[in-house]
Amino acid sequence: MTDTPTNPMNQAMNSTEPLKPNTNGMLRLFVYGTLKRGFWNHDRFCRGVLAVEDALVRGRLFETSSGIPILQVPEEDILAVGTTNPLADVATQARVVARMSNPEPTPDRLPKKGTSAPWAPVYGEILTFDDPETRLLAIDRLEGFHPGGPCLYRRVLVPVRASGTRLPVWLYAMGDRWTGSFKELTGGIWR
C-alpha cells in the first residue's frame, strides 16, 4: 500500500473515477496555462471535460521566473468573484448568461472607456464541465484560491470571446500573493 501525499497540489481528480451525470449545472472555465490540453495539469484536473473550445479574453499575460503563467484582467471586466460554494458560482454564471442574452445594455457592466492599461487579447481554452462541486474544489486548491483570504489566484467571472460570441466564464486571475517581477508575454499565449 502506498501513502497518498496530502499536498493539495497532488489532490487531482482521480483518473479512475467514473464520470458523473449532469446534476448540478454546467461550469465553464477559461484556462490559459497548465490546465490547457497538452499540459501537465490538464490530464490530472480536467478528466471528464465535456467540451473544449478555443477562446480569448482581454487582459495581460505574464510568466514567473519558474515558468508559471499569471493573467491580469481589467477590474471593470469582472462580473462576479468566486466563492466557496460551487453551486452558487454556477448559478451566478447562469444568471449572468441570461443577463448578457438580454439585448438591453447594462451600463454598470460595459467596459469603461479610457482605461490606460495596455489590455490585449489573451488566448486560451474554455473547458465545460458538469461536475462543479468536485471540479471547482480541486482546481481552487491547485490555483491557491481561498475566498476571503490571501490568494495566488482569484477566481473571477469575466466576458470571454469564443466562436464570435461573448460568454461569462470563470477564470483564475492574478491574486494578491504574487511578488517579484514577471516577464510579460506580449503575444497573449503561454507556451
What CATH number does the domain containing 51 carry?
Answer: 3.10.490.10
- Is 1 domain-assigned? no
User: Which residue type occupies 188?
Assistant: G
Assess if residue 71 is contained within a domain: yes
| Residue numbers in the chain where pLDDT is lower than 50 | 1-24, 105-115
Nearest to 155 by CA among 168, 166, 165, 164: 168
Q: What is the pLDDT of residue 102?
A: 67
Say how many domains are in the chain: 1
Q: What is the pLDDT of residues 110-131, one digit of tens each?
A: 344 444 568 999 999 999 998 8
Give the other-Cβ count within 10 Å of 161's Cβ: 15
- Compute the distance between CA of residue 28 and CA of residue 164 in angstroms, rounded to an integer: 17
Whether residue 186 lies inside any domain: the answer is no
Where do we find the cell 494578491?
176
Q: Is residue 72 part of a domain?
A: yes
Q: What is the pLDDT of residue 117?
A: 61
What's CA 1's distance to the chain center, in Å?
35
| Helical H segments across the chain, by residue range | 40-45, 86-101, 132-143
pLDDT digits (tens, 9 = 90+) for 39-65: 999 989 988 899 999 999 999 999 988
Domain residues for the domain of 40 are 21-180
Return d(Cα 63, Cα 167) in angstroms, integer: 26
Say if 41 falls within a structural domain: yes
CA atoms of 59 and 123, how far apart (whole Å): 10
In the structure grid, which three cell numbers stand for residue 148, read together? 476571503
- Is residue 191 one of the residues assigned to a domain? no
**Helix-then-strand count for the chain, H and E:** 3, 8
